Amino acid sequence: GYSLYSTPQMTLVIPYIVRIWARRKAIAEGHGYYALNVTGPMLQFYEGYYNASYPLSKSDQIALPDFNAGAMENWGLITYRETALLYDPAISSVGNKERVLTVVAHELAHMWFGNLVTLRWWNDLWLNEGFASYVEYLGADYAEPTWNIKELIILYEVHKVFAVDALASSHPLSRKEEEVNRPDEISEMFNTISYSKVLHSYLNEFAFNNTVYSDLWDHLQKAVLTTPGMSLPHTVHDIMNRWILQMGFPVVTIDTATGNITQKHFLLDPDSVTRPHDDTHRRPHGVIPLINRAQIVDDAFNLARAKVINTTLALRTTRYLSQERDYIPWESAIRNLNYYILMFDRGQAYGVLQAYLTMQVSPLFEYFRTVTADWTRVPTGHNDQYNQINAISFACRMGVERCRVLTSDWFREWMLNPDHNPIHPNLKTTVYCNAIAAGGVEEWDFAWTMFKNATVATEAAKLRSALSCTKVPWLLNRYLDYSLDPAKIRKQDCTSTISYIAGNVVGMPLAWDFIRARWSYIYTEYSGGSFSFSNLINGVTRRFSTEFELKQLKQFKEDNAGVGFGSGTLALEQAMEKTAANIKWVAENQEQVMNWFSNECA
């Protein structure tokens, strides 16, 4: 049965009831308090932001143990996975807390933009989701102002979408109404005062009605024309249509000698020649603002993959990382270096790559060991807590022995006393994974037992992910079989479990063989219209970088044409394109990358 928190008595004065529903045990243990406490303030914020009152008399939110999506913005009763709504401070990490905050913020944003005013057809779903994805950061920042969460947009949204939109198989945001009809097709797809006026007029005109994206442009244009001192070089329609009716984004080149500026469509794998880059000036990294440091690294690696600049120039942006202590630049670097790791962790270049990155991450590992008094304290800053996780995770991944001993000792201490877990919630994901990777059957079986006994969804999720980290092939094959047994792994978690296994260099070929042999069954039993099929194909194929793997991909597409790929259709096309680009990139860059890492380690 379900119990609830009800808050008509909240000290925050709001003219509607806010309630959290969940399993009785979860409510009794206080796991709904955090979501409850941020919902009221965020609803008030959105009322001011949209300049429109919350249109219902109550806001109910319910956590479901079995739920395929992350959340769904049903008007008046928002549904969530337990991991997206429930938070236990004794067990859950700072990342779990942030997920609850941002998912709740996203769903509440939809109460106006999506529910009060609904787009006419699925082809404009991008505006509904895109707008809420942006506004969620504003609502979350209002509820947790000390987290500086708006800074994370650059990592979570901008860099992420650029990586996909740089592919030739990308597509425009908006499509014709008749082109979007099936669920899997849907799955694939000013200043403050003036902005507030626009939203107010838009929401009021179309309240309880349907719109198309151009209706919003009309209201934006009206604000431009009626606001004193505001002007644009082109109409809002002209400006926005360039972004939504054509795919991709531009790369802008500035000639510092002549001042000439040129722009062209940025593609990850263009037929172009390497361009010289002479900006070799170096300066202390602290002079450059935090977000710009992250952008410089991300831009350099993407420009190098597109052959606009040399690969070694991009790698040079990582030299300073041994001095970097902030999360956002480190996270940007790790995400980009991850491509090099994926391309080389099965070949001879990996040794020197690992040696170089060990040099870069070791100072960060030692820094956090010192500031946390030998791992006995938690960093105070929100992003510092994230970077402590990076320090341990990346150091262990690069084979830093002190890190391996640390995580294995913590895990062994837990194994000796299963009722008392000494591992801080923030560090559980990385400690569990690295201890299981360094261990054997005993560690895996212990983690499996703890997973089956877990009563908190976030704890179960951490263990389910960590079980994929073992380097023992037969354990990974057994775990793949478990993923298709609903008595062992919930159906909602099947595809992500296979993806976790594929993320392991030992597990990748096992997972690929597994889904090729069972695709028809997986597709039929686990819903081809689900978002998860896109993630599954991306997860299993992201290391692909050989002609043989490309041939296998094409054969997989041909063999299963009659079965279909659902929401993974576009992902499969992109996987083939990315694999072809990876093959070409490795052939062109492996030798110079090896030489560069070797020279840096000399």
Interacting residues of 380 by C-beta distance below 8 A, sequence separation 6+: none
Report the alpha-carbon angle 403-409-413, nearest 5: 150
Going by C-alpha positions, the residue among 547, 548, 527, 545 that lies closest to residue 536 is 527
Show the DSSP H helices in 306-424 as ranges. 311-316, 327-344, 350-371, 382-397, 401-416
Going by C-alpha positions, the residue among 406, 411, 405 that lies closest to residue 423 is 411
Show the DSSP H helices in 147-246 as ranges. 153, 159-165, 183-188, 192-205, 213-226, 236-244
Helix (H, G, I), strand (E, B) or coil at 6: strand
Q: Which helix (H) or strand (E) holds 255?
A: none
CB 81 within 8 A of CB 492: yes
d(CA 388, CA 365): 8
Choice among 73, 98, 107, 549 that is catalytic: 107
31 assigned binding-site residue:
no
**Residue whose tokens read 């840096």:** 600
107 classed as catalytic:
yes
d(CA 543, CA 535): 14
Amino acid at 349: A
CB 17 within 8 A of CB 57: yes
d(CA 576, CA 202): 42
Q: What are phi and psi of 389, to 5 degrees?
A: -60, -45
Mode of pairing for the β-strands spanning 77-81 and 58-64: parallel
424 assigned binding-site residue:
no
The answer to whether the Cα torsion of 146, 152, 153, 156 is positive or negative is: negative
d(CA 195, CA 217): 12
CB 26 within 8 A of CB 86: yes
d(CA 336, CA 427): 23
Q: Beta-carbon neighbour count of residue 509 at 10 Å?
A: 16
Helix (H, G, I), strand (E, B) or coil at 338: helix
129 assigned binding-site residue:
yes
d(CA 405, CA 442): 17
Catalytic residue numbers read 107
Annotated binding-site positions: 106, 110, 129
Annotated binding-site positions for Zn(2+): 106, 110, 129
